[in-house]
Chain A
Amino acid sequence: MAKVKIGIVVFPGSNCDHDAHYVAETIMEQDARLIWHKEASIGDVDVVILPGGFSYGDYLRCGAIARFSPVMKDVVRFANDGGLVIGICNGFQVLTEAGLLPGVLLRNKSLLFICKYLHLRVENATTKFTNTCAPGEVLEIPIAHGEGNYFTDPDTLKRLEDNQQVVFRYCDRSGRLTDEANPNGSLNSIAGIINETGNVLGMMPHPERASDPILKHTDGRKIFESIIQSFVYQQV
């Protein structure tokens, strides 16, 4: 099959852009390219990744200024046309600020920046980002953030739950949801959500940091494999 064209947006202060590019290009053997935030168009891509980092130094609020970067107009257009967009960590924050995903990421309840491996339960394995996972599968993928405490109003939260838009939850090794396993105070232990139309995913954990076998952890590959797989289905 033809390679999937993956565009990774680079904001000033992004720092997981090259990791995402490396995984897409070298590990997954797809066609990846970096897109500078000042570009007016994302060009000919199948998937857009908004990477982790500290866009604009996290000034004002995480992601608040990045959403006004020139390229974001075209990212929003692409998303509204049904294009696949995945926001990782700071990328998730940018997606909420841009209004592509509901809610907001508050300061971690502990006020600490947390960088560690933890466990995620796949709540919805039918999305284009999780179709190679088993329902309820537990993945080990690291987080690294100071603002990952997912919050939204009760009505939106209910809608997210009712529509199976919660894709990942923080859990313990065996998949149980406990307060101890929730690192940042997120409502309902939410670690990742998808939009109603199923083409925009935001997640705080970093799949690109758990994809290279040399790092021992490769559960993050499943996210990339799922994205690629979704294009295989499309072509059949």
Chain B
Amino acid sequence: MFHSKVFVTLKKSILDPQGKAVEQGIHSLGFESVGNVRIGKYIEMDIDTNLREEAEHITKQISEKLLANLVMESFSSTTEQVKE
């Protein structure tokens, strides 16, 4: 069994008004040194296979076809084996 974690964020070139709003909040909190706040999504899933390559391939397919819209978003992922 493998466990994948996928992180989806808006591409750097796209304005993230939600991130901007949160950034303002962070500044109001007193942390003026913080910038470039981006909001994203985190998705995790179990994949029933013993093959790392297959688990990674499945994660990539799902991320490209469903979890992220590559017109506006990019993604990164990790895939780790877990004990059943």
**Contacting residues of chain B (1-47) with chain A, CB-CB under 8 angstroms:** 14-15, 17-18, 21, 41
Residues of A within 8 A of B17 (CB): 107, 109-111
Name B65's closest neighbour in chain A (CB-CB): A68
Q: Does A141 contact B (CB under 8 A)?
A: no
CA distance A110 to B18 in the complex (A): 9
Asked if A48 is at the interface of the complex by the 8 Å CB criterion, the answer is no
> At the interface, is chain B mostly helix, strand, loop or mixed?
mixed
Q: How big is chain A's contact interface, by range? A: 10 to 19
Number of interface residues of B (CB under 8 A): 11
Residues of B within 8 A of A110 (CB): 17
Chain B residue with minimal CB distance to A156? B71
The smallest C-beta distance from A13 to any residue of chain B, in angstroms, reads 17
The verdict on B82 contacting chain A, using a C-beta distance below 8 Å, is no
Contact between chains at A111 and B71 (CB < 8 Å): no
C-alpha gap A106/B15 in the complex (Å): 10
**In the complex, which residues of chain A have a beta carbon less than 8 angstroms from the beta carbon of B69?**
61, 64, 97, 104
Q: How far is the CB of B20 from chain A (nearest CB, A)?
A: 9
Which of B15, B18, B67, B71 has the largest number of chain A CB atoms within 10 A? B71
Say yes or no: A104 contacts B21, CB within 8 Å: no
In the complex, A216 Cα to B18 Cα: how many Å? 37
Query: B19 to nearest A CB, angstroms?
Result: 11
In the bound complex, do residue B67 and residue A103 qualify as a contact, i.e. CB atoms below 8 Å apart? no
Query: In the complex, A96 Cα to B67 Cα: how many Å?
Result: 15
Distance from A2 Cβ to chain B, minimum over Cβ atoms (Å): 40
Query: What 0/1 pattern do residues 110 to 122 of A give for CB contact below 8 A with B?
Result: 1100000000000
Q: Contact check, A111 vs B15: say whether CB atoms are below 8 A apart.
A: no
How far, in Å, is A97 (CB) from chain B's closest CB? 7
Known: A151-B71, A152-B71, A153-B71. A107 touches B66 (CB 8 A): no
The yes or no answer to B72 lying at the interface (CB within 8 A) is yes
Given known contacts A104-B72, A151-B14, A151-B72, A60 and B67 CB-to-CB distance under 8 angstroms: yes
Complex Cα spacing A16 to B48, Å:
40
Q: How far is the CB of A65 from chain B (nearest CB, A)?
A: 8
Q: Name the residue on B nearest A108 (C-beta).
A: B17
Distance of A96 Cα from B70 Cα, bound (Å): 12
Further contacts, 7 of them, CB under 8 A, given A65-B66, A106-B14, A109-B15: A60-B41, A60-B67, A103-B71, A107-B17, A107-B18, A110-B17, A152-B71
17 A-B residue contacts at CB 8 Å? Answer: A60-B41, A60-B66, A60-B67, A64-B66, A64-B69, A68-B66, A97-B69, A104-B69, A106-B72, A107-B17, A107-B18, A109-B17, A111-B17, A111-B21, A151-B71, A151-B72, A152-B71
